[in-house]
Structure 1
Amino acid sequence: MRLLPPILALALHAAAGFALAENISLRLGYEEGRSGLHFAPQYAERGAFGLSPDMGAEAHGEKWRVVAKDAKGNIVHQVNVRSGRDWVAESFDPHSGHITHAQKVTQRSGLFEVSLPFDARVASVEVLPQVKGNQLAATPLHRMDRNALQQLLNKSLSRKNLAASASATTVYESGPAAGRMDYVFIGDGYTAAEMSKWRSDAKKIIDGFLADPLFAANKGKINVRRVDVVSNQSGVDEIDKGIYKDTALDGEFGCYNIERLLCVNNSKTINTVASVLAPDQRDVLIVVSNSTRYGGSGGQVATLSMHASSIEVALHEIGHTAFALADEYDYGTCNSASEPSEGNVSRVSSRSVKWGSQIAANTAVPTQAGQYANGTVGVFQGGQYCRAGKYRPTENSRMRTLGYPWHAVNESLVAKVFAKYAGSTPPGGTTTSKTQSGSLSNGGIAYAPSATPGYIQSGAGTINLKLSGPANADFELALYKSGSNGWLKVASSTGPTSSETISYNAAAGYYYIEVKSYSGSGTYTLNYSYPTPK
């Protein structure tokens, strides 16, 4: 049996549910002062939870790149995570659903979390600013060597029982947390005597959330959890009315001087949830405040109240928080200097726009509002705070006006985010097909998939592999499956050429592919398909 490189093996074992304690979750505080950003490690834990999904260098918003290195400075693992510092504070009219205020705000201090491999090779972890493309900044914003990481682990373990008093309940579970996007709903402003009210309120919100067509269609890719925490007083701060309440998460209306903006203390929220849920069980945090006043917010932590229309605010804000969708309305401060990184807005007004493949041949481009049924994909003028110079894919979606559908382009972007989670089911029917190309030196080995997490989750059925390479080389092909005793080779093809095929009747599980040069070198192409897991 050939062993995988340590990091790949760790990720695979963690996803398959093996009890390995080889990953580390770090919680880092940050504060922006006169001399720049300062980081303060606050908590660490070690366990068999999943790794943080990579947000991609070109994804929406400011990101930090967190890099684990070995003793020689070689990169062992790296991941882009959203900083959560910059976001747009929004308020909407509860009757029309139209935007009434949009203001960019910067959070000067807060927390962020990241989960990384922590095998014996990891000698340090660095936080670097994201620069253009995949380049790494020369100077890290923060660095911790292994001794510092171990000291943080020891310190965190000693104070684990001092965490805030909270409890967690799994409301809906479709699979292991490492392979799902986990949504956590937390109550704020509910006293001990109001816990039954909170559970009833949470059910209303969660039922409304799961009834939305987008989430109903993706129930197999999500888990939903509820966190109960007791507040000393009932309600929420209402600054404009001079009302102040002592609540667990410091909920307040009127933050940033915006009447309908509902904010909480993000650091308290993260620490509270982290005290009762593992790192891979808390992907998206949503706080529900015990108030019927209309409002909510997005950002690192989404919020909503118990107003009858607040679920619509929450769905819009989750579009930002979970899926990095841009606002499609044209209210606010316009900046059209560069092409937006988000997939649902663009400066391009022709069919070469990033969603061009979804535009029907008989739809005019640019597309005039009122000429087609709403939901028709085209290139409509106005979006991301600009009346002109930026375009959106449909006339009106939930990212423009509350109460409207998400529509096709946003739905496809959401599917790509779900696909970052190992257990999620990619779109496209019952079979997933992929192609990987590369090169091998004489005696060299390559693994597929080469991208993180380095394995596939297959449903039961036939896995088909087809390898092609140079005429003067002998390449071999093998398929491995994760089992209770580790990784075992379950099929191979070792003919005298570089063209090999495998058709394997697979049980549902985790697999990876090995391409090996027995002799010779050159480029190869591997086509493989497998049953999409249910």
Structure 2
Amino acid sequence: MNAIKLILMFVAAMVVQINAHAGNISLRVAYSDGRQGTSFTPVHAELGEFALTPSMADGGQTEKWRVVAKNAQGAVIHEVLVRNAQQRHIEAFDPKTGAIEVSQQVRQADGVFEVSLPFDARIASIEILQQSTAATGDTRMTPVPPQQTVFDRATLEKMLRSSQLARMQAPPPAATVTTIVNNGPANARMDLVFVGDGYTAAEMDKWRTDAQKVIDGFLADPLFAANRASMNVHRVDVASNQSGADEPDRGIYRDTAMDGSFYCYNIDRLLCVNSTKVYNIVGSVLAPDQRDVIVVVSNSTRYGGSGGEIATLSMNNQSVEIALHEIGHTAFALADEYDYGTCSLSAEPTSGDVSLNGTRNVKWGRLIASTTAVPTGLGQYPNGTVGTFQGAQYCKTGKYRPTENSRMRTLGYPWHAVNEGLARAVFASYGQPSGGPVTQTGSLTNGATANAPSASPGYIQAGSGTFSIQLSGPAGTDFDLYLYKYSGSAWTKVASSEGSASTEAINYAGTAGYYYVQVKSYSGSGNYSVTYLFPPQ
């Protein structure tokens, strides 16, 4: 049987598979500036049972793209908010003190991003809309531009077939992958990928040694060490034609696999790569949900790195600290807690570690001890004490952070309780890929209350949908059930169940935001069990 006949049979089989499949589609989309705004083009697609892209919280000051899957009648079946990759915040730190030196917003004219959505028989199209944030803090969704944002099912199926055909016809990938830490299936773990740039074929042994040094540095961090069981770690090997990285300010240029370059945006410590090449290389050996966090390691000892959709670092001894800070943004949606940069007070930040609220009603307020003053003065308590410290997310006044100094403010400091709790919630979300219910048990004395989740930070960032909560308590008692949402200035009760016994239930249709559950003993004492299922973000 000749090769052409084999390919035709493969394409026919793919048509049947796509039409019958009820899985998810992973799209790699190229974006670029055009005369009418940003244009989007699908460049690669895969079909499988991998995890869906988690949605960012709505609102705040971060510009986003809304990606929606619609049926033939135009109804939205699924939607996800992803970061607008063209709006990039760049930062550089002092290698001696770890303090911020450069913080600014830049526009990236072109690149690629990836997103995974359902692709069952109901899906007729996928659209991309741009969210713009007005000065008053309100948000408006507009197509950008309308004629280039709608990908109908026929286009997507054609992309799936061409991507599969390209993989079938392509020579073996130049890259290879080695799994360093394997704790379970990719759709139930956070998968970290470390890929080397600027290592020649003759330097592959050096790359493997360097990679292990970087990976060991990550796993030695207390946060990652404590959550190691929730992660898989992969090393991707790919040879570059030349060794090192571009250093334009020094007249040095190297031909590397991912175009690693210092002096990005004229900032000497900013290390950038070609995102299209990174996704092509990593995607050739790892499935979409096996590359949750990608870190490119440059074969250079010059101090530098960057964050965003893809994190970068060099082999400078201090660069792992940069990468940990940047992954705080990329993986855990933490905000910068330093006060240097362009300040905006137009809306409550969506990140869980900064707020416009400096009172005890702040979203992390339940972690503030009654003996801690708010707002909290500098130098009055041991570092790590949770309070409301003024100065955060590029503002010297008007915004608050939970601790005096953390890794999201200055390199080399601990994460501290609020950030650790937010990170743990992200790790836990990978452990429950189906969005299954969570059960918490405990005991109450007469008149007492208990909150779920009980672990720091004491709340969950949820998406829009139905919030389902069930409570059961001992016979002869009266336990009640409440659901609270953070409104931007205080926690507000949005749903309750207050029957005369201790079997209660809430089914609440809510919007995206921060939530927690409260169980209260109206009368009696004893053990309780509360089970809650929140819509994924």
Normalization by structure 1: what TM-score? 0.75
Moved more, 378-387 or 191-200: 378-387
Q: How does 1:215-294 map to 2 (within 5 A)?
A: 215-294=224-303
Asked if residue 409 in structure 1 is aligned to residue 418 in structure 2, the reply is: yes
User: Which 5+ residue runs of structure 1 have no aligned equivalent?
Assistant: 1-18, 437-449, 457-463, 468-498, 502-525
In the alignment, which of 358, 366, 388 is matched to residue 349 of structure 1?
358
In the alignment, which of 161, 170, 184 is matched to residue 162 of structure 1?
170
What is the distance in 2 between the residues matched to 1:338 and 1:190? 45
What is the distance in 2 between the residues matched to 1:26 and 1:245? 31
Asked if residue 93 in structure 1 is aligned to residue 94 in structure 2, the reply is: yes
Deviating beyond 6 angstroms after TM superposition, the runs of 4 or more aligned structure 1 residues are 131-136, 432-436, 450-456
In the alignment, which of 334, 340, 347 is matched to residue 343 of structure 2?
334
Asked if residue 528 in structure 1 is aligned to residue 537 in structure 2, the reply is: no
Moved more, 408-417 or 234-243: 408-417
Give the secondary-structure state (helix, strand or coil) at the position aligned to 2:268: coil
What is the distance in 1 between the residues matched to 2:374 and 2:430? 35
Amino acid in structure 2 at the alignment position of 1:190: Y
What is the distance in 2 between the residues matched to 1:278 and 1:216? 25
Partner of 2:65: 64
Give the secondary-structure state (helix, strand or coil) at the position aligned to 1:336: coil
CA, structure 1 residues 466+363, in 2 after alignment: closer, same or farther (shift >3 Å)? closer
CA, structure 1 residues 425+327, in 2 after alignment: closer, same or farther (shift >3 Å)? farther
CA shift at 1:65, angstroms? 1.8
Asked if residue 200 in structure 1 is aligned to residue 247 in structure 2, the reply is: no
Partner of 2:369: 360
Partner of 2:385: 376
User: Is residue 67–residue 76 contact of structure 1 (8 Å, CA) maintained in 2?
Assistant: yes
Amino acid in structure 2 at the alignment position of 1:35: Q
Partner of 2:491: none
* 1:70-110: CA deviation from partner (whole Å, max 9, x where unpaired): 21222222222223222221111112111111121121211
Amino acid in structure 2 at the alignment position of 1:367: T
Give the secondary-structure state (helix, strand or coil) at the position aligned to 2:430: coil
Amino acid in structure 1 at the alignment position of 2:358: S
Partner of 1:12: none
Partner of 2:493: none
CA, structure 1 residues 175+453, in 2 after alignment: closer, same or farther (shift >3 Å)? farther
What is the distance in 2 between the residues matched to 1:94 and 1:135? 40
CA shift at 1:432, angstroms? 7.1
Give the secondary-structure state (helix, strand or coil) at the position aligned to 2:81: strand
Partner of 1:506: none
Partner of 2:44: 43
Partner of 1:397: 406
* 1:313-349: CA deviation from partner (whole Å, max 9, x where unpaired): 1101111111121111122222233322222122222
User: Is residue 334–residue 384 contact of structure 1 (8 Å, CA) maintained in 2?
Assistant: yes
CA shift at 1:454, angstroms? 10
CA shift at 1:365, angstroms? 0.9
User: Is residue 131–residue 142 contact of structure 2 (8 Å, CA) maintained in 1?
Assistant: yes
Q: How does 1:168-179 map to 2 (within 5 A)?
A: 168-179=177-188
* 1:497-534: CA deviation from partner (whole Å, max 9, x where unpaired): xx999xxxxxxxxxxxxxxxxxxxxxxxx95379xxxx
Give the secondary-structure state (helix, strand or coil) at the position aligned to 1:319: helix
User: Is residue 55–residue 463 contact of structure 2 (8 Å, CA) maintained in 1?
Assistant: no
What is the distance in 1 between the residues matched to 2:155 and 2:208? 41
Moved more, 197-206 or 61-70: 61-70
Amino acid in structure 1 at the alignment position of 2:56: M
Moved more, 93-102 or 242-251: 93-102
User: Is residue 54–residue 80 contact of structure 1 (8 Å, CA) maintained in 2?
Assistant: yes
In the alignment, which of 139, 157, 160 is matched to residue 153 of structure 1?
160
CA shift at 1:115, angstroms? 1.3
Moved more, 408-417 or 53-62: 53-62
What is the distance in 1 between the residues matched to 2:143 and 2:45? 26
Asked if residue 104 in structure 1 is aligned to residue 113 in structure 2, the reply is: no
What is the distance in 1 between the residues matched to 2:74 and 2:412? 51
Partner of 2:319: 310
CA, structure 1 residues 391+224, in 2 after alignment: closer, same or farther (shift >3 Å)? same
CA shift at 1:430, angstroms? 8.5
User: Is residue 128–residue 143 contact of structure 2 (8 Å, CA) maintained in 1?
Assistant: no
Partner of 2:489: none
What is the distance in 2 between the residues matched to 1:165 and 1:322? 28
Moved more, 164-173 or 19-28: 19-28
Give the secondary-structure state (helix, strand or coil) at the position aligned to 2:429: coil
CA shift at 1:238, angstroms? 0.7
CA shift at 1:240, angstroms? 0.9
CA, structure 1 residues 338+430, in 2 after alignment: closer, same or farther (shift >3 Å)? closer
CA, structure 1 residues 154+326, in 2 after alignment: closer, same or farther (shift >3 Å)? same
CA shift at 1:45, angstroms? 1.3
Normalization by structure 2: what TM-score? 0.75
Amino acid in structure 2 at the alignment position of 1:24: I
Q: How many residues align?
A: 438
CA, structure 1 residues 262+419, in 2 after alignment: closer, same or farther (shift >3 Å)? same
What is the distance in 1 between the residues matched to 2:392 and 2:464? 33
CA, structure 1 residues 435+28, in 2 after alignment: closer, same or farther (shift >3 Å)? farther
Q: Aligned-residue CA RMSD in angstroms?
A: 3.4
